[in-house]
A and B are shown apart, each in its own frame.
Chain A
C-alpha cells in the first residue's frame, strides 16, 4: 500500500494540475495579504474560499484522477497485491497531494507575512486543518461515486451534484426548514443540522473562533456553548473524521467486490 501511495503521490506532485492548484493558493495568499495586511481579516476571506473551493476541487480532481488512472489500476489489479492497498493507496495519494498543495500554498505567504508572531496562528492552523479534512472528505466521496459508476459522464454529473448539494442545496433546505418551523425553538435543531454537513460544520467552527462570532447573537451563544467546550470540539472533529472514515470504508468495500 505504501508503495502505491508513494507512486501515486509522486505522480500527482509532478503533474501540472497539482502545480496549478498550489500556485493558485500561493497567489491567492499573497494577493490577500498584499491588498490587506490584516491577517485576521485575510483569514475570514480565506474561509469563504476554502469552504466552497476545497470541496469542489476535491470532488472534481478525485473523480478525474480515478477515471484517468483506470488502466493503471487494472494493471495493478493483475498483480498479487491486496485490493484494499491499491485503492487506499490511490485515495491517500490524491487527498494527500491536494492537502499538501493547500497547506503549502497558503502557509508560505502567511508565514512570510509574519504569521508566527501574530495571534491568529491558531485560527489559521484550524483553517488549514479544516481545509485538509474537507479535501479528504470530498476525495473519498468522489472515489465512492467513481467506484460505483463506470460511466464517466454520469460519474462527473453525480459528483458535481454532490458538491452542489453539500455547498448550496443543503443550506437552502436548512433555511427553508428554519423559516417553516420558526415558531418552535430551533437552537438544537440548527446545531444538529450543522453537525451533519461537513461544509457547514467547518464554516461554523472557524466563525466561532473569529470576532465575527458576536454577530451570531444568542444562537451563536448556544453554538459557542457547545463547540466552545473541549467535548464539543472533539465531537465536531469526530464528525469530520467519520465523514472521512465512512466513505473510505464504503469505497474499499465496494472496490473489493467489484468486477473490473
Chain B
C-alpha cells in the first residue's frame, strides 16, 4: 500500500512541476500542427495539449521531461511505419491519446508507447488499436501505467506482440488497464516490485499475464478471461497472487494458472471458474494456497513433479471433474481443512470438520496419469463403479495424500 502512496506523491509533485512550465497547444490550425514540431520546440517541463484530430506521425521521441495531454482522444496514426511514441527522459506523462497502426517488424519490437530508461513516468488513459506491442517499458522504474485500453487483433503467437511488456523494470504500478487480443496481455521479464492490480486481460492468444525471472511482485483483483492459457508464473520468487479471477480458460492445452519453477509465494482469495485445469503446478516449492475457490474446472489442481512444501488450506473445491491429479506417490504437500463438494463423510461431533479423511485423488485420475489414453473412458459407467469402490476401500491411490480435516461446509 505504501508503495502506491509513494507513487501518488511522486505524481502529484510531478504534476506540480509540469504545470509550472508553458502550455503548447497542438491542433490543425494552431501554431504547432504536428506533435513532433511541438516536442522539438518545447522546453523541459512544458505541457503539450493535443486537440482532437488525426495526426499522422511516428517515431515521436520525447527526450525531455514533458506532459503530453490529449483532449477528447486525439488520434496519432503511425501508418504501420514503426514505433509511435518513445519516452527517453525522466518525468514524462502521456495521457488521453488514441494511438493506432503501429508497424510490425520481426527484428524490432515496435510499440505504441515505449519508455526507455525512464523514471517517474506515467502512461494513462490511452487507447491503443491495431498494434504490435502496446506499452513497452525497458529498464525503467517508478512509473505508472493506468487506465489504458489496448485492443489488439492478434491471431497467431509468432506474428503478434504483447499488450504491456516490462523488461528489467522496477517499482511500477500497472493498474486498471484493459488488454484484449494480443499475444501476452501483460508480460514481465526481469522485473521486480511490480504491482499489477484491477486489470482485465482477456481473449489473448497466449497468456493473460506472464512472469519470467521476476521477483517480489504482487498482482491482485485482476480478471483473466478466455485467454489461450490464463496466467503463467515461471522462474520467479516471492510473488503474491490475491483476489484474482481466472475464468473460462478452456481448451485442450489451457489452464487458469500455470506455476513453473516458482518458490515462496502466496496464492489466496482467488477464484478459478470453468478452466480446463485450474492450477497446473510444476517445480513449485513452499507455496501457500489459501481460501481459493475452484469451481467447474476439468482438473482443479494438477500437480506434476518436484513440488515440495506446499500447503493447501481452506480452499473450496466445487463440482470439478477431477479435484486433484498427482503424478507420483511421494507427497510432501499438505492438504488440510479444505471443502470438497464430493466429500461424503459425516460429522458426528458437529465441529464442522468431517470425521472421515477425504482422498482427493480419484482412482480414475490416478490411472489417467499413468496411461493418458484411458481418458477415453471418461464418464463411463465402469469408471463410476471403480471410483466408487476405491472410495469405499482405497487400494491404489497414495495413502498419505489425504485431507485429514475436510470441512463440512464451504469456507467463506
Residue numbers of A with Cβ under 8 A of B are 44, 47-48, 51-52, 167-168, 171-172, 174-175, 178-179, 182, 186-187, 190, 194, 200, 203-204, 207, 211-212, 214-221, 223
Q: Which residue of A lies closest to B376 (CB)?
A: A190
Contact with A along B287-319 (1 / 0, CB 8 A): 000000000001100000000000000000000
- What are 22 A-B interface contacts by the 8 Å CB criterion? A44-B379, A167-B382, A168-B381, A168-B385, A172-B382, A175-B374, A175-B377, A178-B371, A179-B370, A186-B371, A190-B376, A200-B380, A203-B379, A212-B378, A214-B250, A214-B251, A215-B276, A216-B375, A216-B376, A218-B372, A219-B375, A220-B252
Task: Name B367-402 residues within 8 Å CB distance of A.
Answer: 367, 370-385
With A167-B381, A168-B382, A171-B381 known as contacts, the answer to whether A214 contacts B298 (CB < 8 A) is yes
Residue pair A171, B382 in contact (C-beta under 8 Å) = yes
> In the assembly, what is the distance between CA of A31 and CA of B401, in Å?
37
Q: In the assembled complex, which residues on chain A have CB atoms less than 8 Å from the CB atom of B250?
A: 211, 214
B10 interface residue (CB < 8 Å to A): no
Residue pair B382, A175 in contact (C-beta under 8 Å) = yes
Q: Which residue of B lies closest to A182 (CB)?
A: B371
Q: In the assembled complex, which residues on chain A have CB atoms less than 8 Å from the CB atom of B382?
A: 167-168, 171-172, 175
* Shortest distance between the CB of A34 and any CB in chain B (Å): 18
Residue pair B370, A182 in contact (C-beta under 8 Å) = yes
With A52-B381, A217-B252 known as contacts, the answer to whether A179 contacts B374 (CB < 8 A) is yes
Residue numbers of B with Cβ under 8 A of A are 250-252, 254, 276, 298-299, 321, 367, 370-385
Residue pair A203, B380 in contact (C-beta under 8 Å) = yes
Describe A's contact surface by its main secondary structure.
helix
Q: Which residue of B lies closest to A172 (CB)?
A: B382
* Shortest distance between the CB of B248 and any CB in chain A (Å): 10
Question: Taking each of A52, A178, A200, which has the highest tally of chain B beta carbons within 10 Å of its own beta carbon?
Answer: A178
Q: Which one of B371, B378, B385 contacts A216 once the chains associate, using CB atoms below 8 Å?
A: B378
With A179-B371, A214-B251, A214-B276 known as contacts, the answer to whether A171 contacts B383 (CB < 8 A) is yes
Q: Which one of B373, B377, B380, B381 contacts A187 once the chains associate, using CB atoms below 8 Å?
A: B373
Q: In the assembled complex, which residues on chain A have CB atoms less than 8 Å from the CB atom of B375?
A: 215-217, 219-220
> In the assembly, what is the distance between CA of A216 and CA of B276, in Å?
10
> In the assembly, what is the distance between CA of A54 and CA of B102, in Å?
60
* Shortest distance between the CB of B153 and any CB in chain A (Å): 25
Q: In the assembled complex, which residues on chain B have CB atoms less than 8 Å from the CB atom of A168?
A: 381-382, 385
Q: Which one of A182, A207, A223 contacts B379 once the chains associate, using CB atoms below 8 Å?
A: A207
Residue pair A214, B370 in contact (C-beta under 8 Å) = no
Q: Which one of B298, B299, B370, B376 contacts A223 once the chains associate, using CB atoms below 8 Å?
A: B376
Question: Taking each of A48, A187, A219, which has the highest tally of chain B beta carbons within 10 Å of its own beta carbon?
Answer: A219
